[in-house]
């Protein structure tokens, strides 16, 4: 099981493309399409926000009722959220245009959008973009990269990866691309992830694998604590690898889940590291916790604390803020058992020992916290459970992106 | 019932003082003392953080067990949090020093600290500060102001107020001072509030009044979502107004609660407006909600959203972020019924009508959002309950205060 180059087009039978369709200003890429040569089992997880964007409503119905999809049309620039009935109609029109161009049922077309909330899609440009993209679809690595670039908003780097493994002698691949925090006309951090695989796996097991895996990957990242109206993760499996269909738990399913976790972990970490204004990836590991739920609650509370994140931005070993964020997380624990270590490529240093300051050197701590990826490892001495969360530091650039966008 | 000038020394029989005792650098005021001529019934509310500072543990025991207090010793600069047994010993030593200097039992002395976490108090300076302050105690308005200044950290303005009213022909006064977000060596936003009254009221009713009132005042403000280890609100009632003792619910109790609410609302709003780096007070009113709990949840979610707060900093009517923050709050509601208005000294403007953009002018919205105090009024059209939350915008200065403090 290993990472390979490429993204959504790495698995057998998946094509992609990304273009500039005139939704963003300045001729930047803003539309992508994904296509499977055959209908694929489709699983999805969506935002828990009460306010759901139109494409979220559209996709959720398809995944839950039809359980199959063959194409995904994505646009960046406008989120198609808080757009009422008109927004829903535009999803249907997009699916219809894609269905006609691709020669498939509109019910096999998923939609996703990211960008400003409240504005209506320029539906003519969307439909003409769909028609432009269809003949350009390709299974090349480059085409996958174009798609990964087209879904970016304020992301500074494209995010795509793939993992290859064998199941019963057959080569199976999972590919993925995602976008993290960003906006054009500033809006919210919208997370979109699109995963493809040629694995033969029933829709039920596919959804089970995805629903379980997001708990330890996408749901463990935070850029600013704001849950988008558009968060969407789609996983399509077209079965072209030719492995024996996975229809129940077992060794094959476990292998598939392990590979899926590699893809999702990679994408999640890279989204966190490329959070708005981020200068570093901030990883929080809570170990020896009493329960997994406790570990998750503590790790997420630390990784989302504004005060912890500004301290990380300042390379400041301000450990009191970490203990404080653990304290208000809602989890019960004994502060006097807590050890804390800071780790990075620059070294490892114990900062807290049994709830009070360890005898550490501030200069060394600052050196460790000056790396591009920084880990806070928190040992609870209360059990055997572990959880890891990923985020980023909170910088002046975050404020600039989100407040001063008119300049 | 009216606001009057002054603060903690406005009620009969309360003295105060503030001095520079050498805890902060540069000879800035860092210790305050409050003293009641007679033992006062004492009520308190404290941080819900699992990690509690030593003075929180000390005060909570006194309020819950002894229910009386006569003096409060406060220091800024060091929070005495995460300081283990040594930190608890220092509370006892502070109380002992104050008891000896004032000629009262140490068990009648409350302690409070705010500042950096994890550092130990310079206990010799604290004790000598107590001895210096005792002969300087005064019931003058100026002495109250000195105390209000001495508890500040990165606060830019002192916060004190008082309200006067009559109960059965007797003049009764409630005074108060508080500090909001700040640090010396950067740490967390610690909220401290000290309230004094000459009202005759049983400890049971005093605690009842305080516990109820903080729900709609201090617990409705947020600067950065980080709940401190040191949050403390103390209310002392010495009975010297001579009114008939309040021992049960009724008209007198309601009058007292209304006055207490005036003091606490004033202090809470001023703490929010003076949040770290804040350029404006941000008020969120949720009205016509189904339940009070729903209104509270929605108002707090909007006022704490980083993305909403950066939009306010940029005077940007980015209403999608407000609807989004309502959506992930955990409260159930119908987004398609929501109306939103922005209000300030510069005018009123409807931004959302039934969940979608109203036909408003962006320039006018920016003008309204450029005031020093800005209100988002959200109408749910679902019931009759209202809640108000206060916060501030999220600015570059917040990052500078909390990340770049070494420069």
- Kindly list the distances between the CA atom of residue B68 and the CA atoms of B5, B86, B272, in Å, as whole numbers in the listed order: 27, 25, 30
* Whether B144 contacts B177, CB under 8 Å: yes
> Which of B305, B323, B403 faces A314 most closely, judged by CB atoms?
B403
Chain A to chain B Cβ contacts (< 8 Å)? 204
The residue to which tokens 């980015």 are assigned: B318
Within 10 angstroms of residue A123's Cβ, the number of other Cβ atoms is 16
Helix (H) or strand (E) holding A295: helix A292-304
* pLDDT at residue number B257: 93
User: Interface pTM (ipTM) of the complex?
Assistant: 0.77
Q: Does A316 touch chain B (CB under 8 A)?
A: yes
Enumerate residues 336 to 355 of chain A having a beta carbon within 8 A of any beta carbon in chain B.
Answer: 336, 352, 355
Return d(Cα A250, Cα A266) in angstroms, integer.
24
Closest Cβ opposite residue B229 in set A188, A324, A332: A324
Q: Which of residues 120-159 of B touch A (CB under 8 A)?
A: none
Q: Tell me the average pLDDT across A225-239.
A: 79
Which residues of chain B form CATH 3.60.70.12? 2-273
Angle between the A123-133 and A84-102 helix axes, to the nearest 10 degrees? 20
Residues within 8 A of B (CB atoms), A 295-314 only: 305-307, 310-311, 313-314
Q: What is the pLDDT of residue B272?
A: 82
Just give the CATH number of A2-271. 3.60.70.12
Q: Does B225 touch chain A (CB under 8 A)?
A: yes
Q: Please, what is the average pLDDT of chain A?
A: 89
DSSP B169-213: TEEEEEEEEEE-S--SSS-----EEEEEE---B-HHHHHHHHHHH
Q: Which residue of B has its CA nearest to A394?
A: B399
Nearest to A188 among B48, B324, B355 (CB): B324
Can you give the pLDDT at residue B218? Answer: 78
- Dig out the tokens for B13 from the structure: 């029989």
3-state secondary structure of B4: strand
Q: Tokens for B359? A: 């036909």
Q: Within 13 Å, how many C-alpha atoms sit on residue A376's CB side?
A: 38
Burial (CB count within 10 angstroms: exposed 0-12, middle 13-18, buried 19+), residue A397: middle
Which residue of A lies nearest to B79 if distances are taken between CA atoms?
Answer: A320
Rounded Cα distance, B62 and B352, in Å: 50
DSSP letter for A219, please.
G
How large a percentage of chain A has pLDDT more than 90? 60
Identify which of A49, A229, A399 has the shortest CB distance to residue B310: A399
Measure the CA–CA gap between A375 and A247, rounded to whole angstroms: 38
Sequential DSSP letters for B84-100: HHHHHHHHHHHHHHHHH
Choose the mutation target among B229, B276, B402 for the interface with A, i.e. most A CBs under 10 Å.
Answer: B402
* All residues at 6 or more sequence positions from B121 whose CB lies less than 8 Å from its CB, including other chains: B23, B75, B78, B80, B83, B87, B90, B94, B113
Q: What's the pLDDT at B224?
A: 67
Do B49 and A327 count as a contact with CB atoms less than 8 A apart? yes
Location of each CATH 3.10.20.340 domain in chain A? 281-403
**Closest partner residue to B117 among A228, A316, A324, by Cβ?**
A324
Mutate to test the interface with A, among B56, B306, B356 (most CBs of A within 10 A): B306
Q: Between chains, do A187 and B400 touch, taking CB under 8 Å as contact?
A: no
Catalytic residue among A190, A197, A297, A388: A190
Q: Under an 8 A CB cutoff, do A49 and B328 touch?
A: yes
Which is it for strands B281-289 and B373-379: parallel, antiparallel or unpaired? Answer: parallel
For residue B282, give how far its alpha carbon lies from the nearest alpha carbon of chain A (Å): 15
Bridge pairing between strands B192-197 and B232-237: parallel
Taking residues A62-90, what's their average pLDDT?
Answer: 92
Q: What is the pLDDT of residue A307?
A: 84
Contact B312/B281 with Cβ under 8 angstroms? no
Q: Which of B190, B229, B304, B395 is catalytic?
A: B190
Give the model confidence (pLDDT) of B283-325 as tens digits.
999 999 999 999 999 999 999 888 899 989 999 888 888 998 8
pTM of this structure: 0.80
CATH 3.60.70.12 in chain A: give the residue spans.
2-271
Residue A329, min C-alpha distance to chain B (Å):
8
Helix (H, G, I), strand (E, B) or coil at B350: strand
A228 contacts on B by Cβ (under 8 Å):
324
Please indicate whether residue B183 or residue A218 has the higher confidence score (pLDDT).
A218
Q: What is the dihedral of CA B323, B324, B328, B334, to 10 degrees?
A: 40
Residue A226 has pLDDT above 80, yes or no: no
Q: Is B196 a catalytic residue?
A: no
Contacts of A320 (CB under 8 A, 6+ apart): B79, B81, B82, B116, B117, B118, B187, B188, B229
Distances (CA, A) of A140 to A2, A102, A137, A198, B292: 20, 18, 9, 15, 56
List the structure tokens of A224.
Answer: 């600013």
Distance from CA of A226 to the nearest CA of B (A): 7
Instruction: Please state the rounded mean pLDDT for residues A287-297.
Output: 95
C-alpha closest to that of A17 among A111, A151, A121, A123:
A151
| Of the partner residues B229, B310, B402, the one whose CB lies closest to the CB of residue A310 | B402
CA proximity to B234, closest of B304, B174, B186, B298: B174
Measured between CB atoms, does B399 come within 8 Å of chain A? yes
Residues of chain B predicted below pLDDT 70: 181-190, 223-227, 404-407
pLDDT tens per residue across span A151-184: 988 788 898 999 999 999 999 999 998 887 633 2
pLDDT at B188: 36
| CATH T-level topology, domain A281-403 | Ubiquitin-like (UB roll) (3.10.20)
Among residues 21-60 of chain B, which lie with CB inside 8 Å of chain A? 48-52
Contacts of A307 in chain B (CB under 8 A): 187-189, 224, 226, 402
Question: What's the gap in Å between the CA of A190 and the closest CA on chain B?
Answer: 11
Contacts of A189 in chain B (CB under 8 A): 307
Contact A50 B327 (CB under 8 A): yes
Spatial separation of the C-alpha atoms in residues A216 and A257, rounded to whole Å? 12
Per-residue model confidence as pLDDT tens digits over A176-212: 988 876 332 223 346 777 888 999 999 899 989 888 8
Query: How far is it, in rounded angstroms, from Cα B315 to Cα A69?
Result: 43
Token match 């926000």: residue?
A49
The C-alpha atoms of residue A179 and residue A163 are separated, in whole angstroms, by 18
Q: Which residues pair with B73 in a beta bridge?
A: B33, B111
Cβ of B228 under 8 Å from any chain A Cβ?
A: yes
- Helix (H) or strand (E) run with residue B46 in it: strand B31-46
* CATH topology (fold) of B2-273: 3.60.70
* Shortest alpha-carbon distance between residue A120 and chain B (Å): 10
Choose the closest CB to A399 out of B329, B336, B399: B399
Q: Which residues of chain B lie closer than 8 angstroms to A333, CB-CB?
A: 50
Return the residue of A nearest to B327 by Cα: A50
Greater pLDDT, B335 or A102 = A102
The neighbour count for residue A332, using CB atoms within 10 Å, is: 10
């Amino acid at each position: 099981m290993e990472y390979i180059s490429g993204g959504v087009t790495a698995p057998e039978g998946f094509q992609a493309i990304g273009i500039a369709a005139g939704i963003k200003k300045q001729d930047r890429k803003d539309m992508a399409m994904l296509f499977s040569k055959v209908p694929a089992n489709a699983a999805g997880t969506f935002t828990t926000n009460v306010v759901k964007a139109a494409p979220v409503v559209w996709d959720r119905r398809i995944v839950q009722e039809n359980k199959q999809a063959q194409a995904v049309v994505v646009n960046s620039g406008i989120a198609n959220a808080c757009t009422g009935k008109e927004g829903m109609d535009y999803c249907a029109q997009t699916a219809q245009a894609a269905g006609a161009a691709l020669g498939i049922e509109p019910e096999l077309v998923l939609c996703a959008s990211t960008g400003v909330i409240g504005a209506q899609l320029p539906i003519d440009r969307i439909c003409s973009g769909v028609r432009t993209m269809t003949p350009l679809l390709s299974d090349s690595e480059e085409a996958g990269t174009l798609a990964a670039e087209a879904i970016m908003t304020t992301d500074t780097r494209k995010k795509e990866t793939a993992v290859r493994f064998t199941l019963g002698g057959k080569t199976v691949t999972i590919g993925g691309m995602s976008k993290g925090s960003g906006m054009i006309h500033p809006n919210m951090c919208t997370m979109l992830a699109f995963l493809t695989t040629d694995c033969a796996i029933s829709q039920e097991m596919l959804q089970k694998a995805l629903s379980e895996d997001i708990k330890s990957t996408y749901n463990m990242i935070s850029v600013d604590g704001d849950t988008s109206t558009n968060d969407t993760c789609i996983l399509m499996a077209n079965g072209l690898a030719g492995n024996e269909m996975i229809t129940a738990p077992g060794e094959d399913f476990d292998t598939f889940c392990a590979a899926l976790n590699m893809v999702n972990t990679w994408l999640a970490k890279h989204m966190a590291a490329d959070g708005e204004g981020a200068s570093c990836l901030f990883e929080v590991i809570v170990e020896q916790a009493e329960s997994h739920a406790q570990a998750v609650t503590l790790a997420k509370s630390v990784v989302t604390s504004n005060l912890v994140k500004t301290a990380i931005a300042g390379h400041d070993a301000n450990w009191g803020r970490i203990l404080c964020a653990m304290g208000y997380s809602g989890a019960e624990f004994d502060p006097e058992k807590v050890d804390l270590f800071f780790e990075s490529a620059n070294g490892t240093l114990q900062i807290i020992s049994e709830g009070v300051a360890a005898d550490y050197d501030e200069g060394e701590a600052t050196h460790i916290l000056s790396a591009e990826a920084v880990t806070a490892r928190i040992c609870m001495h209360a059990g055997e459970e572990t959880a890891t969360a990923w985020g980023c530091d909170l910088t002046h650039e975050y404020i600039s992106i989100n407040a001063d966008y008119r300049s």
